[in-house]
Amino acid sequence: MSSALQSCDAATPIVSAFYDRFPYPGDPSQDGPPPGYNWRWCVETAYAASTGAVPSRCADGEPLKILDAGCGTGVSTDYLAHLNPGAEILAVDISSGALEVARDRLQRSGGSDQVQVRIENRSLLELEGEGPFDYINSVGVLHHLREPESGLKALASLLKPGALLHLFLYADGGRWEIHRTQRVLMAMGVETDEQGLKLARQLFETLPKDNRLRRNHEQRWAIDCSADVNFADMYLHPQETSYNLDRLFAFIASADLEFAGFSNCKIWDPARLLQGELLERALALPQRQQWQLVEDLDPDISHFEFFLSKGKHFRQDWIDDSELLAATGQLSRCLKGWPGNYLLDFEMTALELSIDQVELLKAVELAPGTPLGCLPLGWDSTRITSLARDLQRQQVLLLSRGKSPTT
């Protein structure tokens, strides 16, 4: 490892060596595209979900510049490549061992043929001269830095104005059993190596069956941790930070970034947990307090996943009919079953489209770049706007702002 890498963060040498031993994530490489899709790694869909609209730089076909900061074994990079064809991707990680797996993964899947990709052994703290980027993905990375604030500021400096950063950070509540287990293993001097892995697995076999730590692991994490690299990442990692909502938003403010929404927003809906008068009282609270209620009521929330924007976060609501008719549309890449009226949507949820919805989507496909109000459907504007709004809310139809209404 270079001296530059060693100096960028106090934990870097230790964390790099850990991931060289346990390249993470442990998903196997395969021939052909990765299974399914993760809409958070499709830039068009991510913008549409967090801002309501696809920015013109995406819709106009200009090459997107994407940074995968802390790509590990390349699972996220592979999805980014297949979901954003034609993009320019820089994928970096401090583990050379993990990057060997990433390069093989992209070659086998064909991802390297879809985009211009560089996979490099670099720290996200030392990317001066790169970017600026339209989209930065950094999942499960910053909480492994000794100084996560420095990492967030470094990523913020690489964003284009108005661009999005997608983060995944550990949450205190749903990891308290994991934290206890980590402290126990550390107190007993269990090392972060193969012998340590063996001892850590023995711990769960040794504890009484009704022990809460054992029950939590077996009921919630055993399947995820069946691969040794995943087990090691959870219980043996040498450097980890977690957050609650208050500390999370203080963390975001430290880099002068704007919160642009959770990418698992259903988790933060009080209706998931409450009903009746209690739900009414919850929904009457300001948004932050609603999220606080959810955090307090659901101690199983183990992570935060969310978007940040550089500069003012503006959300297009598509209430104005003239704006909607002037907009151009495109189908989400994160659909399964199209063409047809029975789809799996961007969350892999079953969705049935009406005959009119299918007809509108087919018209959009056949006339790319055409304002919705100019599609050759022979329909009145009310019919078009009603259908388009429903499809936009369902994230089936992604919209880009038009220059002016056209009749």
The predicted structure's pLDDT at residue 60? 67
- Indicate if the pLDDT at residue 291 is higher than 90: yes
User: Mind listing the pLDDT tens digit for each residue in 233-248?
Assistant: 999 999 999 999 999 9
Can you give the pTM of this predicted structure?
0.93
Same structural domain for residues 14 and 152? yes
Confidence at residue 260, expressed as pLDDT on a 0 to 100 scale: 96
Pair (332, 184) in one structural domain: no
- Would 394 be classed as within a structural domain? yes
Q: How far apart are CA 251 and CA 109, in angstroms?
A: 36
State the pLDDT confidence band at 9, using cuts at 50, 70 and 90: confident
Same domain (yes/no): 79, 145 = yes
Whether 35 and 96 share a structural domain = yes
405 is a domain residue = no
Cβ neighbors of 356 (< 8 A, separation 6 or more) are: 383, 387
Residues 252 and 229 in one domain: no
Q: What is the DSSP letter of 173?
A: G
Going by pLDDT thresholds of 50, 70 and 90, the confidence category of residue 58 is low
Residue 273 shares a structural domain with residue 377: no
Residues in the chain: 407
The widest CA-to-CA distance across the chain, in whole angstroms, is: 74
pLDDT surpasses 90 at 4: no
Domain assignment present for 148: yes
Please name which of 74, 66, 118 lies closest in space to residue 95, comparing C-alpha atoms.
Answer: 74
Show which of 235, 270, 287 is a domain's final residue: 235
How far is residue 232's CA from residue 215's CA, in Å, rounded to a whole number? 18
In this structure, what are the phi and psi dihedrals at residue 166, rounded to the nearest 5 degrees? -105, 125
**Of 262, 289, 309, at which residue does a domain stop?**
309
Asked if the structure places residue 219 within a domain, the reply is yes
Pair (263, 129) in one structural domain: yes
Rounded Cα–Cα distance for residues 291 and 95 (Å): 36
The answer as to whether 292 is a domain residue is yes
Instruction: Give the pLDDT band (50/70/90) at residue 10.
Output: confident
Given a cut of 60, is residue 105 above it in pLDDT?
A: yes
Which residue is associated with the tokens 């320019």? 88
The answer, yes or no, to whether the previous bond of 148 is cis (omega within 30 of 0) is: no
Query: Quick one: 35 and 117 in the same domain?
Result: yes
For residue range 162-182, list pLDDT tens digits in order: 999 999 999 999 999 999 999
Q: What is the dihedral of CA 102, 104, 107, 108, to 10 degrees?
A: -110
Q: Which two tokens stand for residue 406?
A: 């056209």
Q: What is the DSSP string of 205-257?
A: HHS-TT-HHHHHIIIIITTTT-SHHHHHHHHT-S----B-HHHHHHHHHTTT-
Edge-first strand order for the sheet with 65-69 is 116-121, 88-93, 65-69, 133-139, 159-170, 303-309, 258-262
Span 349-367, average pLDDT: 97
Domain membership of residue 406 (yes or no) is: no
27, 86: one domain: yes
Q: What is the mean pLDDT of residues 201-212?
A: 97
Q: What DSSP character marks residue 159?
A: E
Q: What pLDDT is recorded for position 59?
A: 62
Output the pLDDT for position 247: 98
359 in any annotated domain: yes
**CA-CA distance, 279 to 265, in Å (whole number)?**
17
Q: How many folded domains does the chain comprise?
A: 3
In the structure, what pLDDT confidence band is assigned to residue 131 with cuts at 50, 70 and 90?
A: confident
Per-residue pLDDT tens over the stretch 311-333: 887 889 999 999 999 999 999 99
Same domain, 131 and 270: yes
For residue 224, give its domain range: 173-235
Residues 387 and 255 in one domain: no
Contact 81, 117 (CB under 8 A): yes
- 285, 309, 333 - which closes a domain: 309
Predicted pLDDT at 308: 97
Please give the structure tokens belonging to residue 140: 């499960």
**Domain membership flag for residue 407:** no
Determine the pLDDT at residue 312. Answer: 80
